Structure 1
């Protein structure tokens, strides 16, 4: 008899007290039970039910303390959700509250999951949120990739206004994942997945100032065998202080790739992680702050997060890394999903295993620090059985 029971989609605010690896033994020694859903070093300080199963996808939190807002993507994956975005006020962490909802018009006519990834940015003293969208052909808006909202006036919901919609008619199917990065040249760029062998790069300053036609300023290719097929699933972009370069980390066809995108119009491939056992298509990929280590996901059941050391490639002795130095998972029977790195901690949305936190203080020996199981329901019977529970995480 299973102890799991159905639950609804929700957002939880969790406080972590894991300050050192010395807490790891305590966390890993504790066994999960319906009455003890988390390790003792994690406390749930707020909880907000939002809807039915598989209606919450990714989320993002603003980083300025004066703006206590979270943005939550809403999807329709198994037929019980409305596609759009919720804005949650976290000023009282114990009582989070939805203060604004954006929904696609004529939702019942649209096909596909809807809202997937969400990011926010600041440009010329105004605050914006970008919600990625995926609509399938057979309904309206298959070319729509994202909607941009001005959220400067929060917490007053009447001040939220739609700035525009980013469309890509040459590659219908929308943007599955997005990443926003303030480049060393001062511009704010939106990197997106598309249904093509590259990632698109949009200048968000141009877009919000009305130059929608000139917003697409670059592409980061997926190295292929020349057939022209391929694509990215997810990406991360960050500044590399040792070399004073802007770097793109992408997971997609064949594995994972690192590019120098200092010249946004001419990306240069630096490192490839291909030919890796068990990896045909990369998923989420996140570097350590110094760019040496990579945490990489491959989205299939039983797959762990793989940890790669790029030092041999960064030193110039090779351009291809084929073997991870370690791996980590919460439960080998399941699948760990998206993650955020706050070195040496890695915060993981582990689907059926909820929130997981592990340490890479010793990258060759990842250690679990804490966990909280947000979902104690059964496996799906109408969708991938392990795609439930904690989809996204932000810190």
Structure 2
């Protein structure tokens, strides 16, 4: 096994790598530990929005004339109302909360509340879906998400609640969501539930007044019995080589790739199970061409694992057990959510802040930027490493980087030389988590097109 030497804690890092049987581990700890950020990252703006552990995920719109970020607000250890804040980024150096939605009778609710948030467009109107998680013992345990119409922004008086997606068969709400403009023209919400599958909702039907007909499919977890297991997170993207829509899910047993071109009849394409150190997949994101997969599992000391699916496809295998490399910011901690803008991977690193690494050589990931948004101590009343940077998003049009920190709020960055992203810049398909709400998925775009 080759261990890439990038950390002062080399012995411990090598031991972790040997334990996980990974061919290469790159650590982001190549910097002076007393230095808060790398020289190539500029802090453009910062907005504290709440007390400790009241901020979860975030999302930004992609159109420059709609400069809005959506910040989920939770109640993990007490303090703060559950809901979503809308932040105006028209002046990135001076972000401003212009609207806040909060669940009514907040003190009666049980559970964290708002966790994941995504925006979408249907017709000529813009919406936000805020996932909600409430436990039994209080109101709204059957509510998975609230849909807000935000078309009229920046006029906050025009924001209105369209409705709430409810599921009485799966109490506890939706932990994570992903919204995808499908190749058939529909805007689909993929969501985790307390069941052995991800559910799929047609958001066009929902906002057009047909909530009963909005549930249109389920993507199963292909391991365990019918009453156990489930997904934690997912990504959905177009696969140009096959002209198909693909679902990537992390959950019980590892990670799974499904063809969801026919949402009503998904078919398993590939799995990553039996992986050393992975019993439950967490977050998973492919490269634009679907060849490489960046995968997280949620426990202390776990790195992000990088998988290459092409050899399995060529050999006809349906499972990959061995990653080709891995990356972490600090082996003592844990890296979390991530956005792929090939060859860069933008990572919310919990107590290690924003981290950015380069995956152009997937067998040798290299850290290219970082900024520590969280300078507090490890938690003493919660899992010690679950604080700091939680969510991350990138605006493709101009390269603006925005992260949410569970305790310090919203941060806005720019990275030297990164002024926007499209796949054509790198000879890749123009595929990322960003959706083209008007045209839908597109095939490969070559440089110069």
TM-score (norm: length of structure 1)? 0.92
Q: Distance in 2 between matches of 1:190 and 1:60?
A: 15
Superposition deviation, residue 29 in structure 1: 4.4
* SS of residue paired to 1:86: strand
Superposition deviation, residue 344 in structure 1: 0.5
Indicate conservation of the 8 Å contact 2:29/2:330, yes or no. no
Residue 147, structure 1, aligned to residue 146, structure 2: yes
Q: Distance in 2 between matches of 1:279 and 1:71?
A: 31
Match of 1:198 in 2: 197
Match of 2:6 in 1: none
Q: Distance in 1 between matches of 2:343 and 2:215?
A: 35
Instruction: Report Cα offsets for 1:156-184 as digits up to 9, x if no partner.
Output: 00000000000110000100000000000
* SS of residue paired to 1:394: strand
Q: Which moved more, 1:305-314 or 1:221-230?
A: 221-230
Q: Distance in 2 between matches of 1:29 and 1:187?
A: 45
Q: Distance in 2 between matches of 1:191 and 1:292?
A: 22
Match of 2:271 in 1: 272
* SS of residue paired to 2:246: strand
Instruction: Report Cα offsets for 1:307-329 as digits up to 9, x if no partner.
Output: 00011232252001000000000
* Pairs within 5 Å for 1:17-28: none
Match of 2:47 in 1: 48
What are the ranges of 5 or more consecutive residues in structure 1 without an aligned counterpart? 1-23
Match of 2:180 in 1: 181
Structure with bigger RCO (C-alpha 8 Å, 6+ apart): 2
Q: Distance in 2 between matches of 1:29 and 1:194?
A: 39
Instruction: Report Cα offsets for 1:20-51 as digits up to 9, x if no partner.
Output: xxxx99x9643132xx3100000101000111
Q: Distance in 2 between matches of 1:92 and 1:225?
A: 50
Instruction: Report Cα offsets for 1:207-246 as digits up to 9, x if no partner.
Output: 0000000000000000123353110000000000010000
Match of 1:92 in 2: 91
Indicate conservation of the 8 Å contact 1:28/1:369, yes or no. no
Q: Which runs of 4+ in 1 moved over 2 A?
A: 27-30, 225-228, 312-317
TM-score (norm: length of structure 2)? 0.81
Match of 1:220 in 2: 219
Match of 2:116 in 1: 117
Residue 209, structure 1, aligned to residue 208, structure 2: yes
Match of 1:393 in 2: 392
* SS of residue paired to 1:50: coil
* Pairs within 5 Å for 1:322-341: 322-341=321-340
Superposition deviation, residue 98 in structure 1: 0.1
Indicate conservation of the 8 Å contact 1:110/1:135, yes or no. yes
Indicate conservation of the 8 Å contact 1:28/1:370, yes or no. no
Q: 1:316 to 1:184 in 2, by over 3 A?
A: farther
Q: 1:383 to 1:28 in 2, by over 3 A?
A: closer
* SS of residue paired to 1:247: strand
Q: Which moved more, 1:36-45 or 1:349-358?
A: 36-45
Match of 1:257 in 2: 256
| Superposition CA RMSD, Å | 1.3
